[in-house]
Structure 1
Amino acid sequence: MSDSSVLKVICADLPAPPLFWREGETRFGYESDVARAIAAKLGLECEFVYQQWGDFYPSLNENKGDILLCGQGISEYRKTLANFTAPYGVFDEAVMVLTDSPYKSMEDLKGKRIGAIANSMNMTLVETFDGVIAVPFVGTTDDIMGEMVAALRAGEVDAFVDDDVALVPLANEPDLAIVYTAPTQNKWGIAISKERPETLEKVDAALKALKEDGTLKALWQQWMPNLQYPFEHDTVSPA
């Protein structure tokens, strides 16, 4: 690693439970604990390096962090920017609207403006919807999810797409609702600079070990008990 005693993890400083959020100096959530568990497998301390969403890959390739672990669906576009480990998560995608909007189905959203993070798997899904206007969000603040929610509430978009694991908690807000869930089963991975193949090998091996010894499953069930764990076949049963 860039520092032999620390694994530096690039991520966003925004609230996205159950994946990640921060209270004071402590970071909580599934992704946060996965990062710590990988660092522990490597015999390293874990340090979070906060970056704006739009700066993730430049920061990674400038070696501001060793890995990028923050909601990165493994898309063909992103694979041109970095290498990826095997997945640590698999999620469907959902479409969020205002509760009092007239949009009750995807048919109602034809011709409407639907937002998503630029160059993401979510934007790829938006581009498959019939007759909609895709609105990309590049992440100009520390809170790209907050940007999309604010745009929806301000009427700048009619809906937006993100992974269901992030939107289900948001749907507890009285003015927000999920109108559609797409069973896309997007694979999320850890991004690592193409200039650091040795880091990819080490982190992939650590992640494989977490799957085999049941640690990843325990973290999944701790933070996302209502979602089915997707890597049962990777767990090694005790002899």
Structure 2
Amino acid sequence: MTDLGVAAILAEYGLRATGPAVPLTGGEDNRNLRVAPDGPEVVLRAYRFSGPEKIRAELRLVAFLAEHGYPTSAPLRTRGGEVLVMAGSPVALFPLVPGAIPEAVTVPLAERVGELLAGLHLLTAGWADARIPTIDCRGVIDRALASRPDLDRDDRRLPRDLADAVVAGYDRNRALTAAERRLLPVALDLVGIVDAAGVLMWAAPELGLRRVDECRSWVAYLRNAGTRL
């Protein structure tokens, strides 16, 4: 994405860039640029694969969460009230939220993760939008197995105290039922391996991953393997 493209996109929001656009690491379905306009910094997100209606549905959900106090950034709107700008690919703009990735997950952080997940589930109970497709988990795993990425791996395990902390934090906001608690290890396995499969297939080359254990989703899956909560 050229500076000229960024300038044109920002103009749709009534903004003007005052410095270069800086690429941010990550993004499987999107690429992100940190931009300093004539105001608070923003993140420009250009989507790679998803279509405009699916993206609008996702942004509607994100805006709903932000409006109800969930700690996430709502998408900014253009001068015409749109959440997307079509610039070759769909583009959205978000306020920049500064922060840092912790060097290690502590018990308090793990508890906070559980609390946030429970809050997300409570806020979105009954939420449905046909524009957001259901992920074909089996298909993603099958395609990843067929692709056989040339990466080494090491097995790791999630410490029991952190696993317990996530569940404790979740329970404080929304108590797990007995059935949910029994199925929790299966659910965690499925989420971890499906997300890892997608990252290793589509994002590993661009992110410079050389080992499977550099993929955080894969590490989380392996750490959870055999854990019983």
Larger helix fraction of residues: 2
- Whether TM exceeds 0.5 here: the answer is no
Greater relative contact order structure (CA < 8 Å, 6+ sep):
1
TM-score, structure 2 length as denominator?
0.24
TM-score, structure 1 length as denominator?
0.23
Larger strand fraction of residues: 1
Larger radius of gyration: 2
